[in-house]
Amino acid sequence: MPEPRRIAYQGEPGSNSHAVCAQHYPDWEAVPCASFEDVFAAVEAGDAELAMIPIDNSIAGRVADIHHFLPGSGLYIVAEHFLRIRFHLMGLPGASLDRVRTVHSHVHALGQCRKVIREHGLTPMISGDTAGAAREVVEAGDPTQAAISPPMAAGIYGLDVLAEDVEDEDHNTTRFVVLSPDFERAPVGRGPVVTSFIFNVRNLPSALYKALGGFATNGVNLTKLESYMVGGQFTATQFLCEVDGHPDEPALKRALEELEFFTTDVTVLGVYPADPFRA
């Protein structure tokens, strides 16, 4: 049998990134990486065909590191997936919630599960990764320790679920993008498409206003616009932009042509199918 294709993600087995890989690429081998740099390096070196990367969260906002790595990575967005973020409180087999004293997880997960921590008088302990927290509880072997981790981690590490869905907000959702070294452009006319691109505006008064004017006059919907400094210079600003539509459609084609008049460069990062979650 041929070896399964590989998709790299940041985090430990059982993390949310692992879960979204298993959900959308069940026949692929999911490869855990310690850092986002390692994920990009794995694809660039050919050790994995694709990368699954979180880019936005409905509560925490953008995943800041990604926007710095993506423009120079040589990788392209070929798909997007949204994952409803769920956290369970889990402990050693046989552990009981009334005996738990400390709870371990990533700092963001602890901040998103304050109610259960306060309700049970638990002491939060910061871990580097939500799934890694489950592993740490197993390694400690202490029934007074628990982890707030994604549901998948309980099965992987053999923990008992002490409380389900302990996140404070039920709308906690993360958007992931799939990256490939190959530019795979979605076909036009076969459903909703998202186009992601970066551009640098000229350092002139009203340059951004004029650059974006073409999208307004052509009726193109902007779904994301974020700015970043380039090379530490306060006068050089790069923008990441996402719009509804395909560059081959007349409206977006005209808008992108107008954009070039007021920018120093425009680089398309991906033209990919919109996830049904957007609807």
Give me the average pLDDT of each 10-residue run along the chain (279 residues).
86 96 97 93 95 88 74 90 96 96 94 94 95 97 97 97 94 94 94 95 82 94 87 72 96 94 90 94
With respect to residue 187, please indicate whether it lies within any of the assigned structural domains. Answer: no
Query: Are 31 and 150 in the same domain?
Result: no
pLDDT at position 264, please? 83
Percent composition of the chain: helix, strand, coil (DSSP 3-state, to 5)? 30, 35, 35
With respect to residue 186, please indicate whether it lies within any of the assigned structural domains. Answer: no
With respect to residue 156, please indicate whether it lies within any of the assigned structural domains. Answer: yes
Is 183 in the active site? no
pLDDT at position 203, please? 73
**Inter-residue contact 31 to 9 (CB < 8 Å):** yes
Q: What is the C-alpha to C-alpha distance for residues 89 and 4, in angstroms, rounded to an integer?
A: 33
Is 174 in the active site? yes
Catalytic residue among 40, 87, 176, 215: 176
**Which residue in 72, 63, 66, 62 sits closest to 51, CA to CA?**
66
Query: Are 73 and 43 in the same domain?
Result: yes
Domain coverage including residue 210 = 193-278
**CATH code, domain with 258:** 3.30.70.260
pTM assigned to the model? 0.90
With respect to residue 93, please indicate whether it lies within any of the assigned structural domains. Answer: yes
Q: Which amino acid is at 15?
A: S
With respect to residue 139, please indicate whether it lies within any of the assigned structural domains. Answer: yes
pLDDT at position 231, please? 66
pLDDT at position 204, please? 75
**CATH code, domain with 61:** 3.40.190.10
**Inter-residue contact 155 to 38 (CB < 8 Å):** no
With respect to residue 11, please indicate whether it lies within any of the assigned structural domains. Answer: yes
Q: What is the CA radius of gyration of the chain?
A: 21
With respect to residue 209, please indicate whether it lies within any of the assigned structural domains. Answer: yes
Q: Where a domain ends, among 180, 212, 244?
A: 180
Query: Are 136 and 255 in the same domain?
Result: no
Query: Are 210 and 106 in the same domain?
Result: no
Query: Are 31 and 104 in the same domain?
Result: no
Give the count of domains, the chain: 3
- Tokens representing 263 are 């920018």
Catalytic residue among 174, 195, 199, 215: 174
pLDDT at position 199, please? 92
Query: Are 211 and 146 in the same domain?
Result: no
Query: Are 75 and 98 in the same domain?
Result: no
Query: Are 52 and 150 in the same domain?
Result: no
With respect to residue 1, please indicate whether it lies within any of the assigned structural domains. Answer: no
pLDDT at position 108, please? 86
